[in-house]
Amino acid sequence: MNSVQASAGPRKIVIDPVTRVEGHGKVTIRLNEAGEVAETRFHIVEFRGFERFIRGRMFWEVPVIIQRLCGI
């Protein structure tokens, strides 16, 4: 459910759920009084542990390894 907090001052926009990630995800956008983006956060709850698979690998190997594990 997407929601926008209605007020005259700072606002918050929440995009929940984000469907193109493994597990549960959401985006929170905070706007200042002028309506400009003050802060954006991408929340992912699921921990997949890809960092363990790629530790010590060369940087050019990482995209090949991760695309086979993730599939997105």
Predicted confidence pLDDT, tens digits, the chain (72 residues): 555 555 567 899 999 988 877 677 899 999 999 999 999 999 887 666 777 778 899 988 988 887 877 665
Domain count across the chain: 1
* Rg of the chain taking only CA atoms, in angstroms: 17
Residue 14 lies in domain: 3-70
**pLDDT of amino acid 45:** 73
Task: Find out whether 23 and 46 touch, Cβ atoms under 8 Å.
Answer: yes
